Amino acid sequence: MSGDGQRTVTVTGAASASVRPDRASLSLGVQCRRSSAESAMGVSAERAGAVIAALREAGAGDDDLRTTGINLWFDQSEHHYVASYSLTVDVPVDEVGRCLDVAATAAGDEFSLNGVSFSVADPAPALAPLRELALADARAKATALASAEGATVGAVLAIVEGGGAGFVPMPKGAMRAMAAPIEAGTDMLTLQVTATYELR
Residue 99: count other Cβ atoms within 10 Å of its Cβ.
23
Indicate whether 60 and 47 sit together in one domain: yes
pLDDT tens digit sequence for 29-73: 999 999 999 999 999 999 999 999 999 999 999 999 999 999 999
Residue 193 has pLDDT above 90, yes or no: yes
Whole-number Å distance between alpha carbons of 99 and 121: 18
Residue 183 has pLDDT above 90, yes or no: no
In this prediction the pTM is 0.69
Most confident of 113-122, 167-176, 177-186: 113-122
- Total of domains in the chain: 2
Q: Supply the range of the domain harboring residue 65.
A: 23-119
Amino acid of residue 114: N
Q: What is the CATH number of the domain that holds 143?
A: 3.30.110.170
Indicate whether 168 and 145 sit together in one domain: yes
Region for 64 from its dihedrals, namely left if φ exceeds 0, alpha if ψ lies in -120 to 50, beta otherwise:
alpha
b/e map 37-66, b = 16+ CB within 10 Å: eeebbebbeebbebbbebbeebebeeebee
